[in-house]
Amino acid sequence: MNDSKAPKSLLLGRKLSNKNLEGQLLPKFIALPIFSSDPLSSVAYGPQELLMILTLGGVSFLAFAPGIAAVVVLLLTVIVLSYRKIIEAYPSGGGDYEVAKKNLGDRAALIVASALLLDYVMTVAVSIASGTDNVISAFPALAPYRVEIAAGFVILLCAINLRGVRESGTAFAIPTYLFIGSVFLMIGTGLFKLFSGGSLVAPSAQYVVDVTDHAAANGLLQTSGPVQAAVILLLLRAFASGSAALTGIEAIANGVPAFRVPKVKNAQITMVWMGITAVLMFIGIISLALISNIHYAENPCEQLIGFQAQFASKAACEAAPQLSVMAQLGYAVFGANSVLFYVIQAGTALVLLLAANTAFNGFPLLSSVLAKDGFAPKALLTRGDRLVYSNGMLSLMAAALVMIVVFEANVTRLIQLYILGVFTSFTLGQIGMLRHWRRGLRKKTISPRKARSGLAINGLGALLTASVLIIVTITKFTHGAWMVFIIMPILYWVMFNTGRYYRAVEREIRIDEKTQFGSNGDYAVVLMDKLNKPQLKALDYALSSRHTKLDAIHIAVDPVRAAAFAREWKKYGIEVPLKMIESPYREFAAPLIEYLENHRAQNGSERISVYMPKYVVGAWWEHILHNHRANRIRKQLLYVRGVMVTLVPWRLESAAKVDLFSRRPMPGDTRRGSPVRPAMRKHSSGSNVVEKIKLVGEKTDKPHDTDRIDK
């Protein structure tokens, strides 16, 4: 069979050998778009969310934007430096999970794992939903198909990643670099215009912000003490929203094994590239947005005076999309309907869709580490045909699809579950690194200078990330983040009990000095339904194994057919005892199991082998035409102690890719009137005897009654 022509190979590409693994590892310029598309794309909506929350308090609150942006940049810088330390200390790909496991214990590690897994799922859901919004903004007629479009993007992204890390990296590098280049071109052009004496004016600069209703709702118009708390809460909420720019930073630390050697150095350099790029873009976008007087509101029809005037009705205003911050900057810098304006829009839409690619690389790597440690199913540890953890990717796709369907691909609803998980892992990872440095100092395995540097960086990182975690929890809890406190404990419980299960199995199967395996006797049965080649092949296989005692067994669900089979058995003189087990309720497995258990009760710890033929077919539709009885009986026999099951395959011609209905006649297909007799078969202790067995239940003295049929 030519694997290259199989549907799976046509979709995913040819299989790759383990020898090709090094060729699938990533150089830095490919690793950057693969692992950094999420944090780099977040600058497209992080500044926008920050400005939108501040606008709730009025234009005057935008004066706080530079200070809040500076804190976000400081936080991003500290986290990048912290993860450089984590990459060096723990390069196996576990990231915060491995740091927590080795320094804080399994329970803390599972908290980190549950937070990261949820964050990866939300990264896919939020990014795809956001990208879908951009597509619908360009083509409003697609709005009724929002969920279907988003689901299609998720499936497409998973299919691309299943082709391999290297191929998906090449596919995603161009859009990511297009976005980076177009944003820097926009920032550079904008600064050049300003230094040349020109001006930047955003389309929304003409609108006046009306904050009376919103400010009153938030307590900002009071003159007493609560106004200070309301102001602080609004500023903290703006900071929490702006911190979305930090999501996905941990992906590089989780993906160190995917880098080319030297892995640690290459991962650290890529982390620095990502940090510098994200910081510069974040500062540039915030600066140009403030200079061009962008007014981005949560509800523009009510908050922006004059915005509704351009529409025929309020309903039309509410249905129309508001220009994003990126679109308004492109308008202010390049002008409306210019080529570069559309380049910015296209690059932003593409990178938002591809931001989910960070999760499609981070989630499978983390899940494989969890599987290796026994906290996730072992199937997640297996690499697929293209040397990627395909089961992890499929699991992520399924979870993201559930989120998109449940939340109807609504970014506003989905984003409330975002950020909280990643800052949980940030905080525990930083605390774990503090213990790592202290232990190294105490045991003198790390130089004092290096340890003190690590303590300073990770200590500051722990303080900042813990503060952000508290802020995000307070400001987003009532907006939907409470669901995170339900989902994460469920994930924790599943992983914790998975670990308990694997440990219990390991204890059970571990070698000890007492357990011995053996049996007193060797008994075999061949399950016979009719005399044909597959049945006789199973009988021959049992005969060749030279068992001490061998019986053929027929489950008599149809008395007429059973009588005919007994006569045929006697007619052909097969010298193997045949036992006919009555089954008045037309069951196959239950009477056989009862017979075998009764036999074992009489003969002690005797080894019992059960032989059954099984058809092997080639076409999918042939499975529908067979009853699969052998599989059903096998599954039930596996629970009977002392019984081993052997399925003897009979490969139909279709299994060799031969057309079942157009084969040439074979010897024996055309009969000439002479009777056909199978070759003589005889067991060393057997005879051509047929016994009829009637199972009479457990309360009788005898396990079963038998009637001997000699004729």
Decide if 200 is inside a domain. Answer: no
Local confidence band at 707 (pLDDT 50, 70, 90 cut-offs): low
HEC string of 363-401? Answer: HHHHHHHHHHCCCCCHHHHCCCCCCCCHHHHHHHHHHHH
Going by C-alpha positions, the residue among 324, 20, 348, 333 that lies closest to residue 165 is 20
pLDDT at 414: 82
DSSP H helix total and E strand total for the chain:
28, 9
Residue range of the domain that includes 647: 522-660+678-709
pLDDT at 327: 84
pLDDT in tens, 1-42: 444 445 555 555 566 555 555 545 778 888 888 788 778 888
Rounded Cα gap, residues 212 and 201, in angstroms: 25
Average pLDDT, integer, range 32-53: 82
Decide if 397 is inside a domain. Answer: yes
Last residue of a domain, one of 437, 466, 501: 501
Decide if 668 is inside a domain. Answer: no
CATH assignment of the domain containing 45: 1.20.1740.10
Decide if 194 is inside a domain. Answer: no
What is the per-residue DSSP string for 610-636? EEEEEEE-SSTTHHHHS--HHHHHHHH
Average pLDDT, integer, range 542-547: 89
pLDDT at 626: 85
Are 456 and 529 in a shared domain? no
Number of domains in the chain: 2
- Residue 238 structure tokens: 């703006």
Are 468 and 371 in a shared domain? yes
Last residue of a domain, one of 501, 533, 554: 501
Backbone phi, psi, residue 581, to 5°: -95, 115
Q: Residue 575 has what DSSP assignment?
A: B
Decide if 476 is inside a domain. Answer: yes
Are 485 and 591 in a shared domain? no
Decide if 303 is inside a domain. Answer: no
Q: Using CB atoms within 10 A of its CB, is residue 501 exposed (0-12), middle (13-18) or buried (19+)?
A: exposed
Are 159 and 257 in a shared domain? yes
Rounded Cα gap, residues 628 and 15, in angstroms: 31
β strands within 58-191, DSSP E: none
Going by C-alpha positions, the residue among 599, 596, 628 that lies closest to residue 614 is 628
pTM across the whole model: 0.75
Rounded Cα gap, residues 461 and 679, in angstroms: 81
Can you say whether the dihedral through the CA atoms of 357, 362, 368, 371 is positive or negative?
negative
Q: Residue 679 has what DSSP assignment?
A: P
Among the residues of 444-532, which ranges form H helices? 448-476, 484-509
Are 43 and 120 in a shared domain? yes
* CB of 583 closer than 8 Å to CB of 629: no
Rounded Cα gap, residues 86 and 97, in angstroms: 11
Can you say whether the dihedral through the CA atoms of 200, 206, 207, 209 is positive or negative?
positive
| SS3 state at 179 | helix
Decide if 639 is inside a domain. Answer: yes
Is pLDDT at 708 greater than 60 in this prediction? no
Are 260 and 380 in a shared domain? yes
Are 143 and 252 in a shared domain? yes
Rounded Cα gap, residues 656 and 658, in angstroms: 6
* CB of 590 closer than 8 Å to CB of 604: no
Are 537 and 433 in a shared domain? no
Are 230 and 100 in a shared domain? yes
CATH assignment of the domain containing 688: 3.40.50
pLDDT in tens, 397-431: 999 999 999 988 887 778 777 778 888 888 999 99
Average pLDDT over the chain reads 81
Decide if 313 is inside a domain. Answer: no
Rounded Cα gap, residues 310 and 322, in angstroms: 12
Residue 384 contacts by C-beta under 8 Å, 6 or more apart in sequence? 12, 162, 390, 391
What is the per-residue DSSP string for 288-342? HHHHTT----SSHHHHEETTGGGSSSHHHHHHSPPPPHHHHHHHHHH-TT-HHHH
pLDDT in tens, 153-166: 999 888 888 876 55
Of residues 424 and 131, the one with the higher pLDDT is 424
pLDDT in tens, 186-206: 999 999 999 998 888 888 888
Are 586 and 655 in a shared domain? yes
Please state whether the peptide bond connecting residue 262 to the residue before it is cis, i.e. omega within 30 degrees of 0: yes
pLDDT at 1: 44
Are 471 and 551 in a shared domain? no
pLDDT at 680: 60
Are 477 and 526 in a shared domain? no
- Residue 365 structure tokens: 């790597």
Query: Cα dist. 583→355, 575, 593, 634 in Å?
Result: 61, 24, 12, 18
Backbone phi, psi, residue 419, to 5°: 75, -45
Is pLDDT at 177 greater than 70 in this prediction? yes
Last residue of a domain, one of 501, 533, 558: 501
Going by C-alpha positions, the residue among 253, 229, 235, 302 that lies closest to residue 98 is 253
